Chain A
Amino acid sequence: MATTYTLINSNTLSSSAASVTFSSIPATYDDLVLQASIRNNRSSVMGGCRVRFNNLSTSIYSYTYVDSDGSSATSTRSSATTEFEFVGNGNTSTADTFGSLELYLPNYTGSAKKCFSTFAVSENNATNANIRAEADLMDITSAINQITFLLPGASTYSIGSSFWLYGIKNS
């Protein structure tokens, strides 16, 4: 039976870091799955996180998301941004809780613009938490070979934040 879901690489932070990059991603799979368990030092419950592809910071990223905090839901569309914005845990969420994120990027080596989905939550042992489902598009027509997690300004991902990159083969 073919192995269709393969861990390409992973990292769990043993010290805080401003960014985490998966570089030289092999072009030998059909799709990519990126999972993260993240917390950062921003002074909020929902700390957020940012992601760029192929080290490109021009205005090529667009997204539409629905975000709910349990009392209200909002929908937002942003286009021509310089990075994607997802949710994660900030430093005022319950200690030792981490936000969860999963990104599914099909056909990452194709020559068309890349569309993908992201599902992320900020977790909290209290009433304040968020869930966000996002449809994403990036104007990159070359193969994706690098993915970088960033944060605004001088913020850092906390110790224990983990990142996993998987490759999917259709057969």
Chain B
Amino acid sequence: MADTPTKVIVDCSTGITEVLPLTAAEIADLETARLAAEDQRVAAEAEAAARAEARAELLDRLGITEEEVQLLLG
């Protein structure tokens, strides 16, 4: 059986450091947060990829390159 993960708490008012085992609820909270953050990361990356793809398609339709766009905007 794996050891229970611990948490370190540094109390800045006293300078005392404690090492305590995580509770089951804390472990569950961490996993929930990880899943939520992963969902958001995947969504953000998909959105960025979709924007890049749309931009590339538009440039293709216009018949100009990214470098030419930068020249026009510069």
A residues at B contact (CB < 8 Å): 8-11, 13, 15-26, 50, 57, 74-78, 81-83, 85, 150-154, 156, 163, 165
Inter-subunit contact B8/A85 (CB<8 Å): no
Neighbouring A residues of B5 by C-beta, 8 Å: 16-18, 154, 156
Which of A19, A74, A77, A154 touches B7 (beta carbons < 8 Å)? A19
How far, in whole Å, are A152 and B38 apart by their CA atoms in the complex?
10
Which of A19, A23, A77, A85 touches B11 (beta carbons < 8 Å)? A23
Check B22 for interface membership: any CB of A closer than 8 A.
yes
Inter-subunit contact B22/A18 (CB<8 Å): yes
Q: A15-B19, A18-B22, A20-B7 are in contact. List 20 more A-B contacts (CB 8 A).
A: A9-B10, A11-B17, A16-B5, A17-B6, A18-B27, A19-B7, A19-B22, A20-B8, A23-B10, A23-B12, A24-B11, A50-B37, A76-B48, A85-B41, A152-B30, A152-B38, A153-B31, A153-B34, A154-B27, A154-B31
Which of A13, A74, A83, A156 touches B48 (beta carbons < 8 Å)? A74
**Can you list 28 A-B pairs, Cβ within 8 angstroms, ordered by A?**
A11-B17, A16-B5, A18-B7, A18-B27, A19-B7, A19-B8, A19-B22, A20-B7, A22-B12, A23-B9, A57-B29, A74-B48, A75-B48, A77-B44, A78-B41, A78-B44, A81-B40, A82-B33, A83-B33, A151-B30, A152-B33, A152-B37, A153-B31, A154-B2, A154-B5, A154-B27, A154-B30, A165-B12
Neighbouring B residues of A163 by C-beta, 8 Å: 10
Residue of B nearest to A83 (CB): B33
Inter-subunit contact B8/A13 (CB<8 Å): yes
How far, in whole Å, are A150 and B35 apart by their CA atoms in the complex?
14
Residue of A nearest to B3 (CB): A16
Known: A17-B7, A78-B41. A9 touches B33 (CB 8 A): no
Check B67 for interface membership: any CB of A closer than 8 A.
no
Chain A's nearest CB lies how many Å from the CB of B69? Answer: 17
Check B14 for interface membership: any CB of A closer than 8 A.
yes
Interface centre among B7, B41, B45 (most CB of A within 10 A): B7
Inter-subunit contact B10/A21 (CB<8 Å): yes
Chain A's nearest CB lies how many Å from the CB of B34? Answer: 3
